[in-house]
Chains A and B, each alone.
Chain A
């Protein structure tokens, strides 16, 4: 788990606290680097569902990007628990699992969007825009 200091936002739009959950360091950095929204402030990253829950309770994010296949606690279980803690949280699943049944299951647990890996910067930003705007 890696908590970071929240950066200031310009106040023109509502600010959203972002948490990135993925067991891949490359993917966590990629999402952090590629997202282009001034209104998102990264409050931390987690490498599995258990770390995500712990960070979620401390930092209370509004927006979460969530991998599904992770050790210790997978993304589907984590989504259920996050939504139980905060029903208004917006969750974008970012996963290599490309089958429809997985996407439906994630949405039924409370996810708000689904993006397949690999993705382009544009696809990521469009998916996040759908989530917050």
Chain B
């Protein structure tokens, strides 16, 4: 069973990105638990985890949110590649935090990035996902933690 502290590490990795990179903190919505594949937004950064826990953690965000985040970062390029790049950087930060907090108990992959509204996220059959809404300005993204 996923520990609260483990979940906190992933959440803090995500909110820290907004607070530092955009100088504007994100807030957390009410988390919920669901079975099956949660829906995703336009761009998704995925981290695969094995070792003490098995599964995936992913950050998924709408293009509009990423566009504003890029603007706040003084970025002028809003291309598809830059959106992918940004969501990968957020996932990279989540991954780095997890490596720091969990050490060698967890084997954490280099993030991969998926684009489009219905990508296939490889999840273990029967696994349940914690879905944590990440609210920033008027936008909402999701952090999804699906570990057994």
Contacts and interface: CB of A to CB of B under 8 A. Distances in A.
Interface of A: 24-27, 29-30, 33, 69, 95-100, 102, 116-120
B89 to A, nearest CB: 6
Given A26-B85, A29-B75, 14 more contacts: A24-B85, A26-B75, A26-B86, A26-B89, A96-B95, A97-B96, A97-B99, A98-B97, A98-B100, A116-B96, A117-B92, A117-B93, A117-B96, A118-B20
Contacts of B70: 26
B144 to A, nearest CB: 19
B47 to A, nearest CB: 11
A120 B21 CA distance: 6
B64 interface: no
Contacts of B93: 96, 117-118
B73 A96 contact: no
- Which of A24, A96, A116 is the most central at the interface, judged by chain B CB atoms within 10 Å of its CB? A96
Contacts of A119: 20
Contacts of A116: 96
List the 9 closest pairs (A to B, CB-CB), nearest first.
A96-B96, A98-B100, A118-B20, A118-B21, A99-B100, A96-B92, A98-B96, A96-B93, A99-B99
Contacts of B82: 25-26
B81 interface: yes
A119 B70 CA distance: 15
B89 A24 contact: yes
Interface of B: 16-17, 20-21, 23, 70, 73-75, 77, 81-82, 85-86, 88-89, 92-93, 95-97, 99-100, 103, 110
Contacts of B85: 24-26
Contacts of B73: 26, 30
A111 to B, nearest CB: 16
Contacts of B100: 97-100
Given A25-B82, A26-B75, A117 B89 contact: yes
B99 A118 contact: no
A45 B77 CA distance: 17
Given A98-B96, A99-B99, A117-B93, A24 B20 contact: no
29 contacts: A24-B88, A24-B89, A25-B77, A25-B82, A26-B73, A26-B85, A26-B86, A29-B75, A29-B77, A30-B74, A30-B75, A69-B110, A96-B92, A96-B93, A96-B95, A96-B96, A97-B96, A97-B99, A98-B96, A99-B96, A99-B100, A117-B89, A117-B92, A117-B93, A118-B17, A118-B20, A118-B89, A120-B20, A120-B23
